[in-house]
Amino acid sequence: MPFNHFSRLSLGVAVAALSVSALAQTAPTGTRYGSFGIDLTAADKAVKPGDDFWTYANGSWNKRTEIAADRTSAGGSVILADQAEQQVRTILDDAARDPAAVGPGAKQFGDLYASFMDEAAIERAGAAPLKPYFAKIDAAGDKQKLQVLFSTVGYASPVEVGQLPDPADPKRYAVAAGQGSLGMGGRDYYLEQGPKYDTFRTAYRAYVEKMLTLSGIADASAKADRIVALETAMAKVQWSPVQSRDLKAMLKPMDAAGRKALAPEFDWPLLLSTAGYGNFPTVYMTNSTALTELGKIFAATPVSTWQDWMKFNLAVANSGVLPKAFDQATFDFYGKTLADQPQQRARWKRGIALVNGTMGEAVGEVYVKRHYPPESEAKMGELIANLRAAYKERITANGWMDPATKTQALAKLAAFDPRIGHPVKYIDYASLNVVRGDPVGNAMRSGEFQHRLDLSRLGKPVDRTLWGMTPQTVNAYYDPLNNQITFPAAILQPPYFDPKADAAVNYGAIGAIIGHEMGHGFDDQGSQFSASGKFENWWTPEARAAFTQRTAALSKQYDAYEPIPGVHVKGALTLGENIGDLGGVETAYAAYQKYQADHGKAPVIGGLTGDQRFFLAYAQAWQAKLREGAARARLLTDPHSPPFYRVNGIVRNVDAWYTAFGVKPGDALYLAPAQRVHIW
Ligand SMILES: [Zn+2]
C-alpha cells in the first residue's frame, strides 16, 4: 500500500548538493568532466546563449548522444544510475559467492536476486504462483470480504490507507485515506481526447485481455471491457495531480461519523482495522469528493468485476517474476507503447531494481562502505552551511515580506535538518522471509514486511532517522513534515558534486540542487509547514498575497511552454519544483559571490568568467534528453518541468545571467526586468 503523498511531497527526478573552502579556485586537475568540471565539447557555440541557453550549453551533446535502447532518457543522472547499477551488481555477485563476507542481509538479498534470475524455474512454474492469491480473491464473494482484501497488502484497491507524520503534530503518526492508483498511470490517459490517446487506450484494453488470458481466466475479452470501463469511471472522479497539490483541501481530518457521511458505501471501520489502523479516531480523508464518488462506484459495480480487476492487478504487479509471456506483454505496453522505449532492460538490471526496491538499505549499507568517500560529508556540510547563510541574507533583505513573516521564515531556515550520504542506522531485514525459488511469494512477503515495519512505529514518536531514498539513489528530496533535506551518496558525484572541480561548477550544480531542496521548504506547498513541520499558517495575509502574486507569474510563464505539440507544461503542477529551481539558482549564485568575497575573485578559466562557469554548470546539471512517450508521461503527472525548461525557464528570470552572457532585448529568452520573477 504505497502512500507517499505527504512524507515525500517533493520527491522527484534528479536534484542535489555542494562544497566550499576545499574547492579549487584555480584551474583544477583530475575532474571527471573537462579540465575544470564542465564539458565544453557539449556546448553548441553556434547558438546564442540568450536565445536558448540549454542548447548553448548542451547542444553538441544533444546531437551526438543517443538514448540507450533500454532507456527512456540519457544524461548525467543516467550515467550515475548505470554506474550504481554495476556497483550493486558486484555486491550481489559477491553475496552469491560468500554472503557472510559481504554483510548483514547478504544471504537474503542474494537469494532474492537468484530467485528473480532463475528464468527457467519461473517458466516451469507458469501461472501457478498466482493461484493461492486468486483463490483468496475468489473467496471474497461479497462486498465486506472484498474490502478486507482492499486493505490487505498486495491487493489493488480503489482507496488506499496509510500512515504519515501528523500534519497537526508531526512528532506523532497519523493515518490518511485517499484515492487509489490506476493501471495506465495518470487519469489523463483515460480522459484526454485525440488519436494518440485512443491508441494508448486500445493497446491498454488489449493488454488487459492478454494478462487475463495468460492468467488462465475465462471470458477474458468481456472482462477486459468491464475492467477498462471500471478504471475509466474511477479516472473521471479522481482528483488530478494539480488538485491534489491543494493541501488545505487534501488534509481534512474526519472522525468516524465524518467518514461515514463522506463515503457511506465503504465500511471504514473494516478498511482501517484490517490495515492495522483501527485505533485512530481521526483520519485525514484526502481527495474527499473523489472518495464520495468512488464509494458510489464501489456500490454500483458487481463483486465479480472487482474480483477480475484485482486479479489483473495482481498479475501486472508480479509480471516480472511470471513467465516470459507476462513479462513481455507488460513491457510491450508500459515500455514500448506508453514510454517509447524500444528494448526491455536486461534481466540482471531489473533484478538490481528489484533488490534495491525490496532490501535497498541492506545493499545500500554495503554500497556506502565501498563507494562513498566519508570526506564528502564535510564538504557537503560546508556547502549546505553556505547556502543556508545565503538564504538567510536574501530572506532578510527581501522587499516583499514583512518583518513578522521573515522572523518565522528564518526560524524555519535555521531548523532545516540536512542529511548527507546515508542513514545513521539501516533497516534490519532479519524478519523478512526470502525463499529461494519463490519470487512471487518473496514480493508479497516484502510488502507485508514493509507494512509490519510501518505498523511497529505507531504509537511512538516519529522516527526522524528514516530515509525515503536509498544511498544508491541518484536523487535528493525535501520532507516538509520533518523539515529535512536529504542527499543520498549516489548523487554526490560529478557532474553534480566534484571536490576536484572549480568552485563555480560546484555552486552551479550541487549548490543549486541544495538551494532547490531548501527552496521546497518555501514553495507553494512547503511554505504551509512551519519550522516544526506542522501544517500551520505562519504568514501574514499581506506576505502571502505578495508571494502568491509572484508564484502566479512563474506559473504563467511555464504554462506557455509546449515541449510536445499539443502538450504544455502545467504551470500549476510544476510550480513547487520551479520555485525550488529559481530559488536554488539565485541563492547558489549569491553563495558563490560570498565565496569569492572570502577567497578572491574567480579567475577566467578556459575563456570563461566564474559567473559564466556557474551558469554553464547549472545548465549541464540538467543535460538530459527524453523519449517522447516518457516526456508525455511526465508532463501529465510529474511535478518536475522537463530539463530543457528547468534551465531556459529559470535563467531568464535571473539578472546575473543577463550580465554574465550579455543577453539583450531581442534575444529569444529575454524578459524585461519587470517581467522577471524573483521570489527567494
Ligand atoms: Zn524538487
Q: Which residue has the cell 474527499?
A: 288
CA of 518 to the centre of ligand 1 (A): 9
CA of 580 to the centre of ligand 1 (A): 6
CA atoms within 13 A on the CB side of 627: 19
Query: Could you give the angle at the alpha carbon of 185 between the alpha carbons of 179 and 188, nearest 5°?
Result: 90
Residue 168's region, left for phi above 0, alpha for psi from -120 to 50, else beta, is alpha
Determine the Cα–Cα distance for residues 22 and 326; give it in Å rounded to an integer. 53
CA of 520 to the centre of ligand 1 (A): 7
DSSP string, 536-569: ---S-HHHHHHHHHHHHHHHHHHHT--SBTTB--
CA of 517 to the centre of ligand 1 (A): 6
**pLDDT tens figures, 528-562:** 999 999 999 999 999 999 999 999 999 999 999 99
**pLDDT tens figures, 491-508:** 999 999 998 899 999 999
CA of 4 to the centre of ligand 1 (A): 15
Closest to 244 in 3D by CA, of 5, 478, 483:
5
Please give the pLDDT value at position 116.
97
Q: Which helix (H) or strand (E) holds 234?
A: helix 220-237
At residue 577, what is the residue type? Answer: E
The pLDDT mean for the chain works out to: 94
CA of 555 to the centre of ligand 1 (A): 16
CA of 422 to the centre of ligand 1 (A): 19
Torsion angles phi and psi, residue 203, rounded to 5: -65, -35
CA of 117 to the centre of ligand 1 (A): 35
Determine the Cα–Cα distance for residues 354 and 349; give it in Å rounded to an integer. 9
- Is the model's pLDDT at 360 over the cut of 90? yes
- For residue 26, how many other CB atoms are within 10 A of its CB? 11
CA of 6 to the centre of ligand 1 (A): 14
pLDDT tier, 490 (very low <50, low <70, confident <90, very high otherwise): very high
CA of 207 to the centre of ligand 1 (A): 34
- Is the model's pLDDT at 163 over the cut of 80? yes
Q: How many residues does the chain have?
A: 680
Please give the pLDDT value at position 36.
84
CA of 519 to the centre of ligand 1 (A): 8
Q: Which residue has the cell 558525484?
A: 493
Annotate 561-590 with b (16+ C-beta within 10 A) or e (fewer).
Answer: bebeeebebbbbbbbbbbbbbbbbbbbbbb
The structural domains of the chain, ordered by start, are: 40-79+374-425+465-675 (3.40.390.10), 128-321 (1.10.1380.10)
Check: CB of residue 308 under 8 Å from CB of residue 227: yes
CA of 488 to the centre of ligand 1 (A): 14
> Which grid coordinates are listed for 635?
508532463
3-state helix, strand, coil in the chain (%, to 5): 55, 10, 35
Strands 484-488 and 477-479: antiparallel
The mean pLDDT of 283-308, rounded to a whole number, is 98
CA of 7 to the centre of ligand 1 (A): 13
DSSP string, 265-301: TS-HHHHHHHHT-TT-S-EEE-SHHHHHHHHHHHHHS
CA of 99 to the centre of ligand 1 (A): 37
CA of 174 to the centre of ligand 1 (A): 25
Please give the pLDDT value at position 421.
97
**pLDDT tens figures, 87-144:** 999 999 999 899 999 988 999 999 999 999 999 999 999 999 999 999 999 999 999 9
Query: 626: which strand partners?
Result: 73
